[in-house]
Amino acid sequence: MVKIGMIVGDRYDILERIGTGGMSDVYKAKDHKLNRMVAVKVLKQEFSENANFVSKFRVEAQAAAGLAHPNIVNVYDVGEENGVYYIVMELVEGITLKKYIEKKARLSVKEAVSIAIQVSMGIEAAHNNHIIHRDIKPQNIIISKEGKVKVTDFGIAKAATSNTITSNVMGSVHYTSPEQARGGYSDEKSDVYSLGITMFEMLTGRVPFNGETTVAIAIKHIQEEMPSPRDYVSEIPVSVEQIVFKCCQKSPDRRYQSMGELITDLKRSLMTPDEDFVKMVDPDEDGSTKMISSGERQKIKKQSVNRDGMEEAMHLRREADVKKSVKKKRYVPEYEEEEEEELDEIEYEYEEEEDEEEEDYDPKMERITTILAVVAAVLIGCIVLFLVGRAFGIFDTGLFGQKEEEAQEEEEPKEKVQMIEVVGKGEDEVKVDLLKLGLTPEIEYKESAEYEQGIVMDCSVGAGEMIEEGSNVVLPVSAGSEGVEVPDVVGISEAEAVATLGKGGFPVNKTEGHDAYIKEGNVITQSPEAGSKVPAGTAVTIRISQGPEVSKVQVPDTIGRDESEGMAILVEAGLQMGKVTEVHHSDPAMAGLICYQSYSVGDYVEAGTVVDVSISIGPEEAVYQFIESIAAPTAQEDPNYRSGTMVTVTLMADAGTQLYSTQTSSFPIDNPGISGIKSSTGYILFQYVNATEASSITHEDGSVTTTEASSETKEFKRTVQFMEG
């Protein structure tokens, strides 16, 4: 069992729970070894002893751990400790695409396409690693505070090369592909379909197929035609609509065959949105849409019974004889945030026979099927009637005259902890101590002349008292005798401002207004002003920027991003990426990244303005030249050198390349005019022989001194600096 303050794997300090899913809980933690914040996904205790769930959990870890991409939530570590299975992931501060759509009702075309491009690139990286996500939906797409889009939750991902891929339908029914709904084999094109549904929701604010039950929705995915997004939002360009249609074809063969193809069309739609360039695959005999058979419809309907925890009424199959079977189906619910609408796991048993056509329709079989369906409906009605009667006490006595006892599982009592002394201690210190005990501190600021500001004055639970783990503890904290100082929230985001003021005990009132310099969504002004002291609980009014009053947008910073990221950032800001050129840049680290944009960061331009960018291809290789004359050896270099001596002169680059060589006795040597040199420095090598002839000298006394002929081989280097050119 994971608790707040617990250390997992001797390095991950659990700080708080930030989310929950069907199989696991997600905690914010600090990695003390690498000094960074991480997210730790922990398998729920009730599933940790189930081999099937543990296996799925490990599959998630192994699949995701092999992926490294800017548009995928990275996995750092996988482990198990005392029966606790966990995955350590990148902590992404942001909002799910589902909540983002709900917040904005629907997204603009450019924003939707930008998000789709980034999601496609993440999924493409997974497909390149033979991993199929199989659960693409807005709930599994996160938009970070920096605007980065990341795909997460590979909990039901399978390696495409694995033999474990079954016909089980997994994922959420609103986004599931027809082949998944049928229980068929799913591959990369199943992810394409789910992404198409997600795009439809981004553009219109709704899903294309809905119904009262999951079964009804699944049938619509299989049988019904895709509605037109433009029927709901007329301004959607034809190219974008066609992209959605191609993604959501019933036949996988008629969809985009890879994420790369989809990305190409998405990018083109940003440049020429009104051009109908999407190439649809014409249906053929094999790829034509086929209506679901009556047998299949009966099988799908039976899943509704299983979904309610009832027994399967019948199992139909097309064989020579009609056989009946009743089979109890095991179902384990996995809940998500929107459990009423979402389906985490469905099992559709689907039996498909080769060369079966609608012409094989058997009237006798149809009559038998109808009779069996009526019998099943009657049985289900009896069960429902019994359950309703029991609920109202009509059937308090059982069938054998004995009163039935309700079997209720007693809730496991929560652990209790002993409350510590907190009065007189600092607020921050007390919060840490209570969190370590598994208790939740609730701060109430109150003016006090007795206690200094920030000191705990009282506590709702007495020291030494036993209290259930997870309980709230109310802590009145002194705001000082002069009131509480109002924090400065001008310039920060609305969410940050509300959180900061709430932490100080200030209720928040909000107004809106335009501002040409304050980013949209950030605070323009506040009242009371920052730094002023007011009584605890005083409301602070903040004015939120709606951006410039004119139809202009602020140019974002794309420098240091790759082309796809830069495009996404520009599109999100309401701009377009124009011409992309390749240039040299002096910083080697900028290779492959945007190093120039045609508008300065922070400038206000008309919405839709085209921004040209340049991509660095690395530093330009410097080229040098030697355009100087070469002088004879100097007296400093060789005192014995004599003019007229034959000298071999060689010009060398520091890299060891010979640039020039000659023999001469005449100096200076005119400019050799050498260019294209790859290094900035080099040297001139002088090689020659100093020769002395024999001689004799007669002195006054008649004596003679004779000097014999001699020679000396001479070699030395003269360093030179080449010029750029």
Higher confidence at residue 518 or residue 4?
Answer: 4
**In sequence order, which ranges of 558-702 are alpha helices (DSSP H)?**
563-572
Average pLDDT over residues 608-632: 89
Q: Which of 289-298, 318-327, 522-531 has the lowest average pLDDT?
A: 318-327
- pLDDT tens digits, one per residue of 499-547: 888 887 788 888 888 776 678 889 988 888 888 777 777 888 898 988 7
- pLDDT tens digits, one per residue of 232-251: 999 999 999 999 999 999 99
Cα distances (Å, whole numbers) of residue 193 to 134, 174, 564: 10, 11, 22
What's the one-letter identity of residue 169?
V
Decide if 97 contacts 114 (C-beta within 8 A). Answer: no
The DSSP bridge pattern shows strands 169-170 and 345-346 to be antiparallel
Which pLDDT score is estimated for 551? 62
Q: Which of 37-41, 64-68, 425-429 has the lowest average pLDDT?
A: 64-68
Which pLDDT score is estimated for 290? 45
Rounded to whole angstroms, the Cα distance separating 246 from 226 reads 10
Catalytic residue among 10, 13, 25, 135: 135
- pLDDT tens digits, one per residue of 685-718: 999 998 887 777 887 887 878 778 788 899 999 9
Does residue 631 register a pLDDT over 90? yes
Decide if 182 contacts 50 (C-beta within 8 A). Answer: no
**In sequence order, which ranges of 392-507 are alpha helices (DSSP H)?**
427-436, 494-503
Which pLDDT score is estimated for 484? 78
- Paired residues of 630 in beta bridges: 669
Instruction: Dig out the tokens for 326 from the structure.
Output: 């009743």
Cα distances (Å, whole numbers) of residue 377 to 221, 298, 313, 685: 25, 12, 9, 104
The DSSP bridge pattern shows strands 84-90 and 36-43 to be antiparallel
Which pLDDT score is estimated for 694? 77
Decide if 186 contacts 134 (C-beta within 8 A). Answer: yes
Average pLDDT over residues 483-493: 86
Quote the percentage of the chain above a pLDDT of 70: 76
Catalytic, 135? Answer yes
Decide if 688 contacts 637 (C-beta within 8 A). Answer: no
Average pLDDT over residues 348-371: 45
Which pLDDT score is estimated for 442? 83
Does residue 317 register a pLDDT over 60? no
For 602, residues 6+ apart whose C-beta sits below 8 A from its C-beta are 554, 555
Q: Exposure of 704 by Cβ count < 10 A (0-12 exposed, 13-18 middle, 19+ buried)?
A: exposed
Which pLDDT score is estimated for 413? 67
Decide if 187 contacts 161 (C-beta within 8 A). Answer: no
Higher confidence at residue 61 or residue 303?
Answer: 61
E strand spans, 376-482: 416-418, 440-446, 466-468, 472-478
Rounded to whole angstroms, the Cα distance separating 308 from 144 reads 38
- pLDDT tens digits, one per residue of 553-572: 889 999 999 988 888 888 87
Instruction: Dig out the tokens for 412 from the structure.
Output: 């496991």
**Following DSSP, what letter does each residue of 615-653 receive, concatenated?**
EE--PPPP-EEE---BPPPPTTT-TT--TT--EEEEEEE
- pLDDT tens digits, one per residue of 402-442: 444 444 444 556 788 999 999 999 888 888 888 888 888 88
Rounded to whole angstroms, the Cα distance separating 622 from 359 reads 76
Q: Which of 373-377, 397-401, 564-568 has the lowest average pLDDT?
A: 397-401
**In sequence order, which ranges of 392-414 are alpha helices (DSSP H)?**
none
Rounded to whole angstroms, the Cα distance separating 561 from 118 reads 13
Rounded to whole angstroms, the Cα distance separating 375 from 324 reads 12
- Dihedral through CA 377, CA 383, CA 385, CA 387, nearest 10? -150
- pLDDT tens digits, one per residue of 646-685: 999 999 998 788 999 999 999 999 988 898 888 889 999 9
